[in-house]
Amino acid sequence: MHIIVEKECALCNVTYPSFLLHRCVICGKLYCNNCILFENGKPVCLRCAKRRISPTVTWRSKYAYLREYLAQRAKYSRYVKLSFKKIEEIMNDKLPPSALNDPRWWSNIHSRSHSESWLSVGWRVDKVNLNEKTVTFVRVKWTQTKRSEKKKRRRVSSAFKALALRPRRRKQRISKRKIVEMKARVENIKRQMTSEKRIRGLKPRSVYEKRLYKLGEKPRNIH
């Protein structure tokens, strides 16, 4: 009797017998014949085929390239003077007319896409020269507040300090007497194992049996 296992198609969610489903070579999920294509004899689902035809392109702002450039310069410099032409080369795009004519465009104000490109990586505009068409960026000095002043220290009890300062207990070495006793036990076990070797599959008589009965004599039945 054959048991038919049914599984769902990963795209249309319709249940089919498992032997009618095909596994996509890209995502590894099971799909029915309606949701699968065969590319060079290999099954590819419609979802993965769509991604190949029209891949999703993540949008990036042109000012993101300026942010990456300034982040790299921050590793070895605290002062950068760039021309407008150099900035356009970094962004691979032209600056807006307001950046070329109005110095307020270069003001250090948050929540603006172009100003966030330098403020988010620790830079600020120090000087703008519209005649020379240059802008000077300076690294921001981060003011770090002392955490020790803000956070209240917890008082540690004397018992806790004593527990922490207590010396660790050393491991006790095994005494010579215990070593001798362990060796004697091992030797006794070895002797017992060698004395109880089977002869032709029969277990030899113990010392207690040998004391009770003589060799060649059977015990009498006690009524």
Q: What is the mean pLDDT of each run of 10 residues along the chain (223 residues)?
A: 76 86 91 88 88 69 91 90 94 92 93 91 94 94 49 62 62 76 83 65 60 56 51
Among 139, 167, 192, where does a domain finish?
A: 139
- Residue 95 falls inside a structural domain: yes
- Residue 134 falls inside a structural domain: yes
Q: Are residues 82 and 134 in the same domain?
A: yes
- Residue 1 falls inside a structural domain: no
Tally of domains within the chain = 2
Contacts of 21 (CB under 8 A, 6+ apart): 7, 9, 30, 31, 32
Q: Are residues 39 and 67 in the same domain?
A: no
- Residue 209 falls inside a structural domain: no
Q: Are residues 94 and 134 in the same domain?
A: yes
- Residue 17 falls inside a structural domain: yes
Q: Are residues 71 and 117 in the same domain?
A: yes
Q: Are residues 70 and 41 in the same domain?
A: no
Q: Are residues 22 and 41 in the same domain?
A: yes
Q: Quote the pLDDT of residue 101.
A: 94
The CATH number of residue 41's host domain is 3.30.40.10
Q: Are residues 77 and 120 in the same domain?
A: yes
Q: Which residue has the tokens 């600020």?
A: 124
Q: Which domain holds residue 23?
A: 6-53
- Residue 211 falls inside a structural domain: no
- Residue 178 falls inside a structural domain: no
Q: Are residues 67 and 127 in the same domain?
A: yes
- Residue 185 falls inside a structural domain: no
CB atoms within 10 A of CB 76: 6
Q: Quote the pLDDT of residue 153.
A: 60
Q: Are residues 80 and 128 in the same domain?
A: yes
Kindly report whether the global pTM for this prediction surpasses the value 0.85.
no
Q: Are residues 35 and 81 in the same domain?
A: no
Q: Quote the pLDDT of residue 145.
A: 40
Q: Quote the pLDDT of residue 14.
A: 85
